[in-house]
Amino acid sequence: MRRFLLGAAAALALGPSTAGGQQRAAAPPRGWDGFAQAVDAFAARDSIVGAGAVLVQDGRVTARHLRGLADRELRQAVDERTIHHWASITKTLTAVAIMQLRDRGLLSLDDRIATFLPELRQVHASQGSIGDITLRMLLSHSSGFQDGTWPYGRGRSWEPFEPTRWEQLVAMMPYQELRFRPGSRYGYSNPAFIYLARVIEIVTGDPYQSYIYKNVWGPLGMTHSYFGVTPWHLSAERGNSYRLRRDSAGRELVVPIGREFDPGITIPNGGWNAPLADVAAWASFLMGAGNDSGRARRYDAVLSRASIAEMWRAVVPLVEGEYGGSGSGSESMGLSFFLRGSGDALRVWHTGEQAGFRSLMLLDPRDRTAVIVVFNTTNAVRGQESQEGFEGVVRSALALLDR
């Protein structure tokens, strides 16, 4: 489907336990009500069970909008503690981890991926050489590797949600081929970020998940973020997810997918679970601390502002019809981040869609302002109509940042 994307913690006051009084603005910022109405309109049209959105300004959540149910069967409302799945926004974590290792002199973005993962030489490469593919190309979705990770998806009971082991991906490599000459253009690739995670593991000796906990989430105080099965102490806060389908009589039904699912080996490209507050903390880190020297020191200990700015420089233009490409000509791909415009007008974003959840993180680096929104229901029944509705929410988020 063509997807359009844009045509410690107490000091941040962003943690789930501090998401109340001191952050609540006396009145919503100008334009927030219009954005909230766009969220509600899309949710109503698309039979969405629950949704949540926040506005982050200079390290603080200044507005929030919560709608509907986190779990319909339990009559559990969406609230500030509800844990959602953020899907492909996870890729930004993986990319920052690679930049950390680059800055520490443990690798170069121009290193060849086949040096670390010689198994990839089994992929057919009639349009170039696997040996030419660099880590920079993987980060910028310009490697030529395929989009999806798994050829199954018909909903059979025996089918895994995603491949669960590295050797399963390796076994499929002889039956894959590069889509285009490496570095020649943009082409979204989920497996690219699995390969990057393997590099992290090889270089550091840590499993990917442990590396993120120790070097990203821990220093930033993101204590309610996790991969895989929900920790027991957070299980009551995990939201369900839903999918709209038609029954044999043609009636539209909203059916639960389930609170837990196994993303398997694909966690580095789409396995992050967290409440809105943790994603707000991540957005605040990415946008910087401004004049807050204490936060600046904490942020710089994770990744320097120069390296984040490097991630927000265009590498390849987006392609219409590819994930993220609207054909407007103003959009490009940086190092794992989608970009629109430049200079003071730069907008940085990523979206996610998996297992019933659909999400957006949209940043205005100049004003250190972010819009974050998540829905817990997807609607394949209405196809393009549903996608256009989500595009309307994105446009409203852009209008809010441009206010």
CA dihedral for 389, 227, 118, 101, sign (positive or negative): positive
Query: Which distant-in-sequence residues (6+ apart) come within 8 Å of 3 by Cβ?
Result: 323, 324, 351, 353, 387
- As a whole number of angstroms, the distance between CA 257 and CA 225 comes to 21
78 contacts: CB under 8 Å, gap ≥ 6: 50, 51, 52, 66, 67, 68, 69, 70, 239, 376
Question: How many C-beta atoms surround the C-beta of residue 185 within 10 A?
Answer: 17
For 240-256, what is each residue's pLDDT tens digit?
Answer: 999 998 888 888 899 99
Select the CATH number that applies to the domain covering 99-204 from these four: 1.10.390, 2.40.30, 1.20.58, 2.60.40.
Answer: 1.20.58
The CATH number for 9-87+209-401, chosen from 2.60.40.420, 3.40.710.10, 1.20.1440.230, 3.40.640.10, is 3.40.710.10
End-to-end Cα spacing for the chain: 31
Low-confidence ranges of the chain (pLDDT < 50): 1-26
Q: Give the per-residue pLDDT at 327.
A: 52
For position 385, what pLDDT does the model report? 87
pLDDT digits (tens, 9 = 90+) for 253-309: 999 999 998 888 999 999 999 999 999 999 999 999 999 999 999 999 999 999 999
Domain extent listing, the chain: 9-87+209-401, 99-204
> Looking at residue 149, what is its pLDDT?
86
Q: Are 39 and 67 in contact (CB under 8 A)?
A: yes
User: pLDDT value at position 13?
Assistant: 41
Instruction: For residues 47 and 381, give the distance between their C-alpha atoms in angstroms, rounded to a whole number.
Output: 11
| Distance separating alpha carbons of residues 18 and 39, to the nearest angstrom | 25
356's CB contacts (< 8 A; 6+ apart) are: 241, 242, 243, 257, 376, 377, 378
Backbone angles phi, psi at 290, to 5 degrees: 60, -125
| pLDDT value of residue 153 | 65
What distance in Å separates the CA atoms of residue 84 and residue 130, rounded to the nearest whole number?
36
Q: What is the pLDDT of residue 108?
A: 98
3-class DSSP string for the chain: CCCCCCCCHHHCCCCHHHCCHHHCCCCCCCCHHHHHHHHHHHHHHCCCCEEEEEEEECCEEEEEEEEEEEECCCCEECCCCCEEECHHHHHHHHHHHHHHHHHCCCCCCCCEHHHHCHHHHHCECCCCCHHHCEHHHHHCCCCCCCCCCCCCCCCCCCCCCCCCCHHHHHHHHHHCECCCCCCCCCCCCCHHHHHHHHHHHHHHCCCHHHHHHHHHHHHHCCCCCECCCCCHHHHHHECCCEEEEECCCCCEEEEECCCCCCCHHHHHHHCCEEEHHHHHHHHHHHHCCCCCHHHHHHHHHHCCHHHHHHHCCCCEECCCCCCCCCCCCCEEECCCCEEECCHHHCEEEEEEEECCEEEEEEEECCCCEEEEEEECEEECCCCHHHHHHHHHHHHHHHHHHCC
